[in-house]
A and B are shown apart, each in its own frame.
Chain A
């Protein structure tokens, strides 16, 4: 009896109706939880992996160079590590650029990517990539105006997301030996940001 009741057309219709109602409920619930106007600022859930990027600078600026004279140089290395689980691309760009006496147009900047070297330990052991090691070569002002965000950022690094990958960036500056006296006492400020976005 039970078996034949189950086989009735009404039962089948009821099953379909139940399915429709469930779908409506699911969509409503899903929409409400995602878009409700009362949704508060969501809590961060970034432990779930995805894209992760860190560096070894311990929140210390790469360069704090003072009393620069024509020909003054400096070199620093910074190791950037991707631990994300998604394939991503990493771009380097400048933030917070500022200058006085046009000094940034006379600071030549070279950025090279490779392996070896750390922020704290210096560039001993730094080896540029065999090909495509040059990330930037030009003035500080040029860098700041060219690479302003992820879309215009520099670099070709594309972590696969299959494990931790570290790339070391060597940054070198030289105050142009031909810098005019008008740049004396000038200043230039810049932040360097590496940003990873899933590709």
Chain B
């Protein structure tokens, strides 16, 4: 046998044996601490890089909670994944003595903290790479596991193999004639090494996950409730109305009176209920529409006071005008024989406030502008005993001085009325459009309060 062939082969064999010895003793390093009650753990993931790599075996030793120090690597039951172990570095001790851990490779500390009593152990030994087969098996990476085992077989083959009869195994080995026996010994030895190393490397140690955790946080969302949920309603109620129909019903024929006194209302001729509110400040409030048909009338008769305020929200595109809200002798679906205290729209869409004087002459205050533009408008009229004022959208737009006729018993009603004997009367007896927030007061509200009502509708 030529020397230049035998020397490299022998060197290779020696190197393989050294490597195998190194590997075997590293396995011993990884396993032997079990005898001391220390726990070897295969690192499964890389969040402790670069100091601890996946495939390393980390041996931890149980310590009392009081002996824990920041920057130690600790093994704990994973607070986020039941049944898993987590191997992270102790970043700091947080509130209530709970431990804040962090993977070296993580951008931030773990979001979940752990109790000091739950720490299984503190890292004392790191045995590089020997857990690689176990890691491969546990992650289901069979190709890699097979490659590692094949590599091990190759190493064993190089260290203790050789063709039968090769004299190079040992200089003082048995003679060539005993090759058969030696071959069996070799096979046995190889099998023994592989049989011991493989299970040890693959299953004997528990896996520890160095969890990667990273957050995308959106902090500081803030919800603030209004100081008043129903600012318009509160503004109206603050002025103690004697009738307040919010017209918020979704169905039925009853129009509730929100004021503490006064008559409730009744829907008839089928107004369309549940329309969106005139008030932008009260989202859930509703309005009604009489565009197709409909009116609202008081269920009981009253005798109105001399001073008064009447207010209503209207939305119409009608070119016929219409009686919005007022007082009359009729209680049913028929028009009244006598009417007084009116809010109506002329056929050109101008707002009109009307009152009979002591000689029963119909006196009106008429707005200079038209409001049949399809948007909500707030109409209000006040009479303080001498002056009849008309407000539109919170601002006074017309005024007249007049006396007032003696009040009579009758009914408040929105829509449906015959005003043909009044100045610039509607061309029919109905009002076609949106209606909301009807209220009557027994006093003449000030301009400030009227403006406040309007402001409360949009705040």
Q: Decide whether A and B assemble into one complex.
A: yes
Give which listed residue, B11, B81, B106, B223, contacts A140 with CB less than 8 A.
Answer: B223
Is A6 a contact of B14 with CB atoms below 8 Å?
Answer: yes
Query: Whose C-beta in chain A lies nearest to the C-beta of B29?
Result: A27
Give which listed residue, B48, B171, B215, B283, contacts A193 with CB less than 8 A.
Answer: B215
Is B21 a contact of A37 with CB atoms below 8 Å?
Answer: no
Contacts of A34 in B (CB 8 A): 48, 51-52, 58, 73, 123, 126
Q: Does B226 contact A (CB under 8 A)?
A: yes
Is A62 a contact of B221 with CB atoms below 8 Å?
Answer: yes
Question: How distant is A115 from chain B, measured CB to nearest CB, in Å?
Answer: 17
Query: Whose C-beta in chain B lies nearest to the C-beta of A2?
Result: B7
Interface residues on B, range: 35 or more
The answer to whether A95 and B217 touch (CB under 8 A), given A3-B6, A3-B10, A19-B17, is yes
Contacts of B224 in A (CB 8 A): 65-68, 185-187
Give which listed residue, B7, B112, B128, B282, contacts A69 with CB less than 8 A.
Answer: B282
Is A57 a contact of B52 with CB atoms below 8 Å?
Answer: no
Is B217 a contact of A70 with CB atoms below 8 Å?
Answer: no
Interface of A is mostly: mixed
Is B214 a contact of A51 with CB atoms below 8 Å?
Answer: yes
Contacts of B116 in A (CB 8 A): none
Question: How distant is B285 from chain A, measured CB to nearest CB, in Å?
Answer: 9
Contacts of A195 in B (CB 8 A): 111, 213-216
Q: Does B124 contact A (CB under 8 A)?
A: yes
The answer to whether A46 and B221 touch (CB under 8 A), given A27-B26, A149-B80, A179-B229, is no
Q: Does A135 contact B (CB under 8 A)?
A: no
Contacts of A26 in B (CB 8 A): 22, 26, 128
Q: Does B220 contact A (CB under 8 A)?
A: yes
| A26-63 CB contacts (< 8 Å) to partner B | 26-27, 30-31, 33-35, 37, 39-42, 44-46, 48, 50-55, 57, 61-63
In the bound complex, how far is the Cα of B47 from the Cα of A185, in angstroms? 46
Is B168 a contact of A7 with CB atoms below 8 Å?
Answer: yes
The interface bits of chain A over 132-171 (1 if a CB of B lies within 8 angstroms of the residue's CB, else 0) are: 0000000010000000011100000000000000000000
| B219-253 CB contacts (< 8 Å) to partner A | 219-230
Question: How distant is A178 from chain B, measured CB to nearest CB, in Å?
Answer: 9
Is A19 a contact of B282 with CB atoms below 8 Å?
Answer: no
Contacts of B7 in A (CB 8 A): 2-3, 6
Query: Whose C-beta in chain A lies nearest to the C-beta of B47?
Result: A50
Q: Does A116 contact B (CB under 8 A)?
A: no
Is B126 a contact of A51 with CB atoms below 8 Å?
Answer: no
Give which listed residue, B106, B122, B223, B281, contacts A173 with CB less than 8 A.
Answer: B223
Is A61 a contact of B71 with CB atoms below 8 Å?
Answer: no
Question: How distant is A51 from chain B, measured CB to nearest CB, in Å?
Answer: 4
Give which listed residue, B14, B46, B220, B225, contacts A48 with CB less than 8 A.
Answer: B46
In the bound complex, how far is the Cα of B58 from the Cα of A34, in angstroms? 10
Question: How distant is B174 from chain A, measured CB to nearest CB, in Å?
Answer: 13
Is A53 a contact of B51 with CB atoms below 8 Å?
Answer: no
User: B51, B226, B282: which has the most chain A beta carbons within 10 Å?
Assistant: B226
Q: Does B20 contact A (CB under 8 A)?
A: yes
Question: How distant is A97 from chain B, measured CB to nearest CB, in Å?
Answer: 10
Is B218 a contact of A7 with CB atoms below 8 Å?
Answer: no
Q: Does B189 contact A (CB under 8 A)?
A: no
Give which listed residue, A9, A44, A191, contacts B107 with CB less than 8 A.
Answer: A44
Contacts of A192 in B (CB 8 A): 217-219, 221
Give which listed residue, A7, A62, A69, A181, contacts B170 with CB less than 8 A.
Answer: A7
Q: Does A122 contact B (CB under 8 A)?
A: no
Is A33 a contact of B225 with CB atoms below 8 Å?
Answer: no
Q: Does B254 contact A (CB under 8 A)?
A: no
Is B219 a contact of A61 with CB atoms below 8 Å?
Answer: yes
| B406-436 CB contacts (< 8 Å) to partner A | none
Question: How distant is A103 from chain B, measured CB to nearest CB, in Å?
Answer: 5
| B160-181 CB contacts (< 8 Å) to partner A | 168, 170-172
Contacts of B127 in A (CB 8 A): 27, 30
Q: Does A184 contact B (CB under 8 A)?
A: yes
Question: How distant is B423 from chain A, measured CB to nearest CB, in Å?
Answer: 41
Is B212 a contact of A197 with CB atoms below 8 Å?
Answer: yes
Q: Does A129 contact B (CB under 8 A)?
A: no
Q: Does B367 contact A (CB under 8 A)?
A: no
Q: Does B65 contact A (CB under 8 A)?
A: no
Is A42 a contact of B104 with CB atoms below 8 Å?
Answer: yes
Contacts of A96 in B (CB 8 A): 219-220
Q: Can you list 25 pairs linking A and B with CB atoms under 8 Å apart?
A: A26-B128, A31-B126, A35-B73, A35-B125, A50-B46, A51-B47, A53-B214, A53-B216, A61-B220, A64-B220, A66-B222, A69-B226, A69-B284, A71-B284, A78-B218, A84-B212, A149-B112, A151-B112, A179-B225, A185-B225, A187-B223, A194-B216, A196-B213, A198-B45, A198-B209
Question: Could you list 13 further interchain pairs (A-B, Cβ under 8 angstroms) beyond the known A50-B47, A101-B225?
Answer: A7-B10, A27-B29, A34-B48, A34-B123, A39-B71, A61-B222, A65-B222, A69-B230, A88-B212, A150-B111, A151-B112, A188-B222, A192-B217
- Chain B residues near A (Cβ < 8 Å): 3, 6-7, 10-11, 14-15, 17-26, 29, 45-52, 56, 58, 69, 71-73, 79-82, 89, 91, 104-107, 111-112, 122-128, 168, 170-172, 209, 211-230, 281-284, 459
- Chain A residues near B (Cβ < 8 Å): 2-4, 6-9, 11-12, 15-20, 22-24, 26-27, 30-31, 33-35, 37, 39-42, 44-46, 48, 50-55, 57, 61-73, 78, 80, 84, 86, 88, 95-96, 101, 103-104, 107, 140, 149-151, 173, 175, 177, 179, 181, 183-198
Q: Identify the 7 closest CB pairs spanning chains A and B, nearest first.
A: A19-B21, A19-B22, A71-B283, A51-B212, A71-B284, A19-B18, A191-B219
